[in-house]
Structure 1
Amino acid sequence: MAAVMIPIDPDKKDDVYYRYKMPALQCKVESSGNGVKTVLPNIHEVCAAINRPEDVLMRFFQFDLGAQTTISKKDDKYLIMGSRQEEQMQQSVYSFIKKFVLCGQCKNPETVVHYDAKKKSVTKVCGACGKETKWEANRAYTTMYMYYKDHPEEATAGKGTAEARKRSCCCTAPTAAAAASAEKKATKTVIAASDLKDDRKDRSRCL
């Protein structure tokens, strides 16, 4: 069954013009010899919408709900021990979004994680206003840092972010100037190396 699309920012639930949507987190309660557990069948779609890894969100659930979580890569299953209601799980997702997704200044969800190996830190960079927000040091932050330390390729500013655009402009300006200079030199070279044939002797013979 397709998940209901809801606003990424919970404070925008009554704003009909808000365009950033995500699928509501689905829950499926299963019971077996190992006890009752809740499966999250559409966690991939949720994490794709908020641009954050599943592993980090699952660790956040563990801290936020005080519950054991299990990830079975082989079966592609993301489990939380105990019976969990969708409303409770969605509230936990929103807590994660407020802390680790929404821009600290403009509240835009188009943020990316920036990993600084030298400073040993991770921050979020907004693609709309360019604001770089630092996170409070806690267990959830440590999980975020450790994940991106192991996966630095996933912690780069996207092409559409303000930071990336700024870098692009800085790089483009000198490149354009160099190109213009090269073109000017090439034009001068062509004129100086003119190989037009001198036919004055030929004309004098005709006369």
Structure 2
Amino acid sequence: MVESYEALLNKAYEEVTEPSEDGERWSYPEPKSIIEGKTTILENFSDIVSALRRDPDHLMKYLLGELGTAGKIDGSRAIFNGKFEDSLFSPMIRSYVDDYVICSECGKPDTRLYKDDRILMLKCEA
């Protein structure tokens, strides 16, 4: 037996999820850093990279350039030479997301980076 259009429409409306409070369906974890001596450790670096779906080396290179320091990836953490406040990482990662994750046309994070010759390009997959 075939269901009526109204029944199918009501069924579809029941399946639709409500938008979240902030209006975004996608988010990434807030950076958690600690200062140990003369180094700063970003403890949840791998979680952030996983949420952004980007190469860890690319994000690390961006952060090192913004901070103007040296550092390395150590397992799931990133270690930076120098003392940096916890509040410094959030705007830098937000800037990275705006430049290398969010599509400038549709505003969705469904993108990937690829190289065209030597130029890094952002391709929207939405």
- The question of a shared fold, defined as TM-score above 0.5 by the shorter chain, is answered with yes
1:52 counterpart = 2:58: no
Partner Cα distance (1:101, 1:64) in 2: 17
For the residues of structure 2 that align with 1:94 and 1:111, how far apart are their CA atoms? 16
- Tell me the equivalent position of 1:105: 105
TM superposition score normalised by structure 1: 0.47
> Aligned equivalents of 2:27 and 2:106: distance in 1?
17
Residue 103 of structure 2 aligns to a residue in which SS? coil
Q: Decide which of 53, 61, 64 is 1:62's aligned counterpart.
A: 64
> Aligned-pair distance for 1:27?
0.2
Structure 2 length-normalised TM: 0.74
Within 5 Å, which residues of 2 pair with 1:19-168? 19-31=25-37, 36-72=38-74, 76-116=76-116, 119-128=117-126
Q: Contact (CA 8 Å) 1:47, 1:54: kept in 2 or not?
A: yes
- Work out the CA distance in 2 between the residues paired with 1:107 and 1:61: 23
Q: Distance in 1 between matches of 2:22 and 2:119?
A: 37
Aligned residues: 107
Q: Percent identity?
A: 23
For 1:37 and 1:78, locate their aligned partners in 2 and report how far apart those are by CA, in whole Å.
Answer: 10
Shift of 1:85: 1.6
Q: Distance in 2 between matches of 1:102 and 1:89?
A: 18
Q: Which one of 10, 17, 26 corresponds to residue 23 of structure 2?
A: 17
Structure 1 segments, 4+ long, off by >6 Å, are none
1:22 is paired with a residue of what secondary structure?
coil
- In structure 2, what residue type is equivalent to 1:111? T
Larger Rg: 1
Aligned partner of residue 21 in structure 1, secondary structure? coil
Alpha-carbon distance between aligned partners in 2 of 1:72 and 1:20, rounded to the nearest angstrom: 27
CA distance in 2, matches of 1:97, 1:114: 16
Query: What are the ranges of 5 or more consecutive residues in structure 1 without an aligned counterpart?
Result: 1-14, 129-207
Deviation at 1:107, TM superposition (A): 1.8
SS class of match (2:28): strand
Instruction: Please tell me whether the aligned partners of residues 59 and 69 of structure 1 are also in contact (alpha carbons under 8 angstroms).
Output: no
